[in-house]
Amino acid sequence: MTVRTLPDTLMLAEVAADWLAQRVALKPELTVLVATGQTPMGMYGRLAARVQAGTLDCSQVTAVQLDEYSGLAPEDPRRLRDWMMTSFVTPLRILKVVPLDDPATFTAELEALGGLDVAILGLGPNGHLGFNEPPSGPDAPTREVALTPESLLSNRHYWNGLDVPTRAVTAGMDVILGARETLLLVSGAHKRAILGAALDGPETPEVPASYLRRTALTVLADQEARP
């Protein structure tokens, strides 16, 4: 496990962009699990700038969706698919996407691709990854789940006062932990305690992120999250 504390979110975004760009340079057809949420947006913006400048080519990358709310109409503005498309897939000029709708189709598509090369993850305030809410063990499959009150609350600020859907489909812990490398991005004092539990506490289904230590994990945190 590599843990790096960066002075601020700008540096976090830059170092995170370097991390992914290096991997794309080594393997242009990288398969990448893509978190939405606020933490990785700076990273994605920097990657997009490099693509635009012609210093990074992501045209052979496959983007894999991490999670999606259940029961939304295709045009609903809260779709996490659209967030992934507008923040990552479109600006990075990525052509291949594995969407997350039906768990069985998703699992089969991912298997056909040979699994994930890289997972880019944020940390839920309750230790969730994607929407693997506590308790989620390491073998939890891709499935539909009910969101916890913590997730409903933390997701509320994404949607300008719109309600947060109460159920979601998430890539399973088995998918996430199967990635050949994992990048966890954590920012802000409100994540400090849960990041400490994930990195320094026992492995437990009550903190799903604690299982990331089983993977080839890089953690990038800002000063507030990991002083």
Q: Site map for ligand GLP, 130-169, x if CB under 6 A? A: xx-------------------x--xx--------------
Longest dimension (CA), the chain: 44
Per CB under 6 A, 117 contacts ligand GLP: no
Residue type, 97: V
Nearest approach, Cβ of 214 to ligand GLP (angstroms)?
A: 19
Q: In this structure, which long-range contacts are made by residues 213-216, counting pairs with CB atoms below 8 Å and at least 24 apart in sequence?
A: 213/1, 214/138, 214/177, 215/119, 215/177, 215/179, 215/181, 215/182, 216/180, 216/181, 216/182
Nearer to ligand GLP, 61 or 184 (CB): 184
C-alpha distances out from residue 111 to 73, 126, 215, Å: 28, 29, 19
Which positions from 64 to 103 touch ligand GLP by CB under 6 A, shown as an x/- string? --xx------------------------------------
Cα distance between residue 195 and residue 135, in whole Å: 16
* Residue span binding ligand GLP (CB under 6 A) among the ranges 32-40, 86-94, 198-206, 209-217: 32-40
Give residues in contact with ligand GLP (CB under 6 A). Answer: 35-39, 66-67, 121-124, 130-131, 151, 154-155
